[in-house]
Structure 1
Amino acid sequence: MGNPTGSDGDDELICYCFRHSRGDIREDVRRHGHSTILTAVRQAHREGRCRCDTLHPQGR
């Protein structure tokens, strides 16, 4: 059974380029009602500042 606080996997990195964890994103949504992190990551990707192919363990 999962953690009743909803913090399962909060330390898991979701974005290796900018070091955002599952917990960072969860907190961002709690504070803002949506993910400002996702918006920033998408913008960085459009600007060519994303390095997922080299930083993510699975190259994505």
Structure 2
Amino acid sequence: MKLICYCFAHSEDEIRRAVLEDSGRSRIMEQILAAKKAGACRCVETHPQGR
């Protein structure tokens, strides 16, 4: 499993599946951006490259 978002554990497969199920669009990015805006991002702690 290849993680795309380490903060919220979204995988590449999950995003692809969401795109297929939602007419070519994934709402995962919207969820990630909203969570980041709310201060829930932990990239520095969870991403192997600290980003």
Report the TM-score when normalising by structure 2. Answer: 0.92
Residue 7 of structure 1 corresponds to which residue in structure 2? none
RMSD of the alignment, in Å?
0.6
CA distance in 1, matches of 2:25, 2:41: 21
Alignment pair present for 1:19 and 2:5: no
Give every structure 1 segment of 4 or more consecutive aligned residues whose post-TM-superposition deviation is greater than 4 Å: none
Residue 20 of structure 2 corresponds to which residue in structure 1? 30
Q: Which runs of 5+ in 2 are unaligned?
A: none
Report the TM-score when normalising by structure 1. Answer: 0.79
Higher relative contact order (CA 8 A, sep 6+): 2
Alignment pair present for 1:39 and 2:30: yes
Q: Matched residues, percent identical?
A: 48
Tell me which structure has the larger Cα radius of gyration. 1
